[in-house]
Chain A
Amino acid sequence: MSNVDTIKNFVISEFLPGTAPAELAVDHDLLNDGVIDSLGVLKLIAWVEDRFELAVGDADLDPENFRSVEAIDHFVTHARAAA
């Protein structure tokens, strides 16, 4: 499974249950339309850190890195390359 699919599955199972994967566009803004709220974002970051073995660590939490499925995928790819 590609990272995009893994991320999409997580977002759907946690925040959009019942949504078909095809219905969630990879560039859909998850932060601004309230899909992920303040509790959800904690879960999302913890999951990203755990699933992709990344330490989001002390770095600034740039909302752009978590805005959409696509953005999370880019962030994970770059963070892994930099590690």
Chain B
Amino acid sequence: MIRWNTDQTDLREGLERWGEALSADHIELEEQGRFPEDKWKLLRDTGILSLPFEEEYGGLGQSLLTTMYALEGLGEYNRDSGLSFSATTSICSTGIPVQHFGTDDQKQRYLPLIASGEAIGAHAITEAEGGSDAMAMTTRATRDGETFVLSGSKAFVSNGPIADVIVVYARTHPRGGPLGTTAFLVDRDTPGLTTGGCGKKMGLRTSPLCELYLDDVRVPRSAVLGRVGGGLMVLDHVMKREVLFSFVVNAGEMRHRLERCVAYAKTRQSFGRAIGSYQSIANKIVDMKIQLESARKWLYDTGEKLEAGEDVTVDLAIAKLVTSRSNLATSLAAVQIFGGHGYMSEYGLEQDVRNAVGGTVYSGTNEIQYNRIASMLGLGAGR
């Protein structure tokens, strides 16, 4: 178990005072499906967007684990899950790979903007024809002298409508298999890049998502992030942090949910007694506690292993599975514990269920996580 030091707990508890402002009107905003620009500004002021980035580039230089711990605090205090999702997406999609793979120029150009939140990042991997099989992507990047020309389209790009820079993954070699993909840093205003298809989604509605169209988008060689052919390595590095950073936010949300349910179960009376005195309600809350603590253990344990440079393929898949399922299960349990109130939007609990479903799909679907574990056990078709 990690014992957090005073600096770490101060960092996390410091977020508490922002909670109310970040959460304000979150139910209405979610209904309107609107990205809250004013709250993004607040989020910038909290410093949370700069946590894992080097101080030289305007970051706070915090470790992976400290960043996770603070992000868990964001989940605990901020009720606008879409806003939190946009934050972790910006950090992980762009800042994280630029920090690790970027050239000095790329770091100087993008990191201060992403760390301060002045610019918003996104990444585009999934295509309409399929997301799970990333190696089958058809968006192409063709070399033309010192430039690459990108053509194709991408689907479900979180932050797409508001992003200033998008990391686009495209095929640079038709038969390159896992070495046939390259990551490119594409600025929003690059000619030929357009967005559309910002359809309404089930949850996380304050985090906008859209399709991305690349119509002969010409970028310089210097826009390559990492190595030509190394796109899946960039993605692998990103996905590890994305799972830890975005799902630890869910752990914070689960903690808040648990506390809310405990308080409600102690005060809500039925048949002359607090509902928490009935075993079938108490057990639901105990299950929530077990699910929360299991998710936290897997997330932080995996984070520790990753920091130590160990192979986390299986751990990460388990952490993602355990957390996404726990988030969904606890959000459903909360609706049940609150009864009719839980079913009403104004309580914000039905929204949690819709948000939680997303976690079983993004960052590699739960089925794909099973495949990973099976493959590491020498079973199945792999991938």
Residues of A whose CB lies within 8 Å of any CB of B are 17, 31-32, 34, 36-42, 58-63, 66
- Asked if B233 contacts A42 (CB within 8 A), the reply is yes
**A39 touching B175 by the CB < 8 A rule?**
no
Say yes or no: A36 contacts B236, CB within 8 Å.
no
Inter-chain CA distance A61–B179, complex, in Å, is: 7
Q: Which residues of B contact A17 (CB under 8 A)?
A: 378
Closest residue of chain B to A17 (Cβ to Cβ) is B378
16 more CB-based (< 8 A) A-B contacts, given A31-B176, A38-B178, A63-B175 = A31-B177, A31-B178, A31-B179, A31-B180, A36-B177, A37-B135, A37-B178, A38-B235, A38-B383, A41-B179, A41-B232, A42-B232, A61-B179, A61-B228, A63-B176, A63-B177
Establish whether residues A39 and B230, one from each chain, have CB atoms under 8 Å apart when the complex forms. Answer: no
Interface bits B352-383 vs A (CB < 8 Å: 1, else 0): 00000000000000000000100100100011
B236 engages A38 (CB within 8 Å) = yes
* Docked complex Cα distance between A36 and B229 (Å): 15
Lowest 3 A-B CB distances belong to which pairs? Answer: A31-B177, A61-B229, A63-B176
**B178 in contact with A41 (CB, 8 Å):** yes
Contact A39 B313 (CB under 8 A): yes
User: Whole-angstrom distance from the CB of A73 to the nearest CB of chain B?
Assistant: 17
Jot down 27 A-B pairs with beta carbons below 8 A, ordered by A. Answer: A17-B378, A31-B177, A31-B180, A36-B178, A37-B135, A37-B382, A38-B134, A38-B232, A38-B235, A38-B236, A39-B372, A40-B178, A41-B178, A41-B232, A41-B233, A42-B233, A60-B227, A60-B229, A61-B227, A61-B229, A62-B179, A62-B229, A63-B173, A63-B175, A63-B179, A63-B180, A66-B179
Asked whether A38 lies within 8 Å of B180 as measured between CB atoms, the reply is no
CA gap between A40 and B178 in the complex, in Å: 9
The residue of chain B having its C-beta at the shortest distance from the C-beta of A58 within the complex is B227
A50 and B50 alpha carbons, distance in the complex (Å) = 34
Complex interface: chain A residues within 8 A of B177 (CB): 31-32, 34, 36, 41, 63
Contacts of B159-197 to chain A: CB distance below 8 A: 173, 175-180
A79 nearest CB across to chain B (Å): 15
Contacts of B135 in A (CB 8 A): 37-38
Inter-chain CA distance A37–B371, complex, in Å, is: 13
Q: Using A37-B383, A38-B135 as known contacts, say yes or no to A63 and B229 having CB atoms under 8 A apart.
A: yes
Task: Please name the residue on chain A nearest to B143 by beta carbon.
Answer: A60
Q: Is the CB of A39 within 8 A of B236?
A: yes
B186 to chain A, nearest CB (A): 19
Taking CB as reference atom, which chain A residue is nearest B103?
A: A58
**Chain B residues whose C-beta falls within 8 Å of the C-beta of A41 in the assembled complex:** 177-179, 232-233
Residues of A contacting B227 in the complex (Cβ-Cβ under 8 angstroms): 58-61
Q: How far is the CA of A71 from the CA of B180 in the complex (A)?
A: 16
Complexed CA–CA distance, A37 and B380 (Å): 13
Contacts of A34 in B (CB 8 A): 177, 382
The CA of A60 and the CA of B375, in the complex, are separated in Å by 28
Most buried by A among B180, B236, B313, B382: B382
Bound CA span A61–B340, Å: 58
Closest Cβ of chain B to A48, distance in Å, is: 12
Query: When chains A and B are docked, how far (Å) is the Cα of A59 from the Cα of B230?
Result: 10
Chain A contacts of B179 at CB under 8 A? 31, 41, 61-63, 66
Q: Which residues of B contact A60 (CB under 8 A)?
A: 227-229
A17 to B313, CA, bound (A): 19
Within the complex, the shortest CB–CB distance from A65 to chain B, in Å, comes to 8
CA distance A40 to B176 in the complex (A): 14
How far, in whole Å, are A40 and B83 apart by their CA atoms in the complex? 35
In the complex the two chains form, what is the Cα distance from A66 to B236 in whole Å?
19
B383 nearest in chain A by CB position? A37
Which A residues are CB-close (under 8 A) to B178? 31, 36-38, 40-41
Compute how far the CA of A32 lies from the CA of B135 in the bound complex, rounded to whole angstroms.
11
Q: Which residues of chain B in 214-262 are interfacial with respect to chain A, using CB atoms and an 8 Å cutoff?
A: 227-230, 232-233, 235-236
Of listed A17, A60, A62, residue having the most chain B CB within 10 A = A60
